[in-house]
Amino acid sequence: MPDPNSPDPVLDQLRAIVGPAWVMTAPGETVGYLEDWRRLYRGRTPAVVRPGNTDELSRVMAVCHCHGIAVVPQGGNTSMVGGAIPSDAGDQMVISLSRLNRVRAIDPVDMTMTVEAGVTLRAAQETASAHGGLLPLSIGSEGSAQIGGVLSTNAGGNNTVRYGNARDLVLGLEVVLADGQVWNGLRRLRKDNTGYCLRQLFVGAEGTLGIITAAVLKIVARPRETAVAFCAVASPEAALAVFARFQAHDPAAIQAFEYMSGLGVDLVLRLVEGTILPLAARADHYVLIELATPRPNAGLRQSLEDVLEAAMADGEVIDAAIAESEAQIRAIWRLREEHTESQKRAGASVKNDVSVPVSSVPALIRGATAACEALLPGILVAPFGHMGDGNIHFNLVQPPDMAAADFAALDHAIMDTVAEIVRTLDGSFSAEHGIGQLKTYMMADWRGGAELMMMQKVKQALDPAGLLNPGKVLPKS
Ligand code: 2HG
Ligand code: ZN
Ligand 1 within 6 A of 154 CB? no
Alpha carbon of 141 to ligand 2 centroid (Å): 10
Ligand 1 within 6 A of 393 CB? yes
3 state SS of 16: helix
**Short-list 193, 163, 148, 187, CA closest to 57:** 148
| C-alpha to C-alpha distance for 14 and 68, rounded to whole angstroms | 14
Number of H helices, E strands in the chain: 17, 19
Question: CB neighbours (10 Å) of residue 206?
Answer: 25
Alpha carbon of 22 to ligand 2 centroid (Å): 33
Q: Is the dihedral of CA 357, 360, 365, 368 positive or negative?
A: negative
| C-alpha to C-alpha distance for 118 and 265, rounded to whole angstroms | 33
Alpha carbon of 385 to ligand 2 centroid (Å): 6
| C-alpha to C-alpha distance for 363 and 304, rounded to whole angstroms | 26
| C-alpha to C-alpha distance for 352 and 383, rounded to whole angstroms | 9
**What pLDDT does residue 7 have?**
73
| C-alpha to C-alpha distance for 355 and 386, rounded to whole angstroms | 9
- Given ligand 1 and candidates 37, 39, 139, 268, which is best to mutate, with the most ligand atoms within 8 Å of its CB? 139
Alpha carbon of 393 to ligand 1 centroid (Å): 6
Ligand 1 within 6 A of 447 CB? no
Q: Are 259 and 369 in contact (CB under 8 A)?
A: no
Nearest CA to ligand 1 atom 8: 340
Domains and CATH numbers, the chain: 9-96 (3.30.43.10), 103-221 (3.30.465.10), 225-339 (3.30.70.2190), 347-433 (3.30.70.2740)
Distances (CA, A) of 169 to 135, 159, 192: 9, 12, 15
* Strands (E) located in 294-422: 317-322, 349-350, 353-355, 380-386, 391-397
**Number of alpha carbons in the 13 Å side-chain half-sphere of residue 165:** 19
Alpha carbon of 248 to ligand 1 centroid (Å): 28
Alpha carbon of 259 to ligand 2 centroid (Å): 11
**Short-list 371, 465, 345, CA closest to 64:** 465
Residue type, 344: K
Nearest CA to ligand 1 atom 1: 140
Nearest CA to ligand 1 atom 3: 140
| C-alpha to C-alpha distance for 222 and 136, rounded to whole angstroms | 9
Report the atom number in ligand 1 closest to the C-alpha of 391: 2
Ligand 1 within 6 A of 362 CB? no
Question: CB neighbours (10 Å) of residue 71?
Answer: 24
End-to-end CA distance of the chain: 27
**Short-list 173, 216, 151, 240, CA closest to 432:** 151
Distances (CA, A) of 1 to 9, 44, 355, 415: 14, 8, 41, 34
Question: CB neighbours (10 Å) of residue 85?
Answer: 27
pTM of the full structure = 0.96
Nearest CA to ligand 1 atom 4: 140
Ligand 1 within 6 A of 336 CB? no
How many Å separate Cα 394 from the centre of its chain?
A: 15
Question: CB neighbours (10 Å) of residue 266?
Answer: 16
Closest ligand to C-alpha of residue 142 is 1
| C-alpha to C-alpha distance for 417 and 371, rounded to whole angstroms | 7
DSSP lists the bridge partners of residue 174 as 184, 214
Ligand 1 within 6 A of 437 CB? no
3 state SS of 408: helix
| C-alpha to C-alpha distance for 194 and 233, rounded to whole angstroms | 49
Mean pLDDT by 10 residues, the chain (477 residues): 67 98 97 95 98 98 98 97 98 98 97 98 98 96 98 98 98 98 98 97 98 98 97 98 98 97 98 98 98 95 97 98 98 98 96 98 98 98 98 97 96 98 98 98 96 98 98 92
Alpha carbon of 452 to ligand 2 centroid (Å): 25
The length of the chain is 477
DSSP 8-state assignment for residue 428: B
Question: CB neighbours (10 Å) of residue 271?
Answer: 15
Distances (CA, A) of 74 to 70, 93, 316, 383: 13, 10, 44, 29
Q: What is the DSSP string of 281-302?
A: S--SEEEEEEEEESSTT--HHH
Alpha carbon of 268 to ligand 2 centroid (Å): 16
Q: Are 384 and 352 in contact (CB under 8 A)?
A: no
Q: Are 226 and 255 in contact (CB under 8 A)?
A: yes
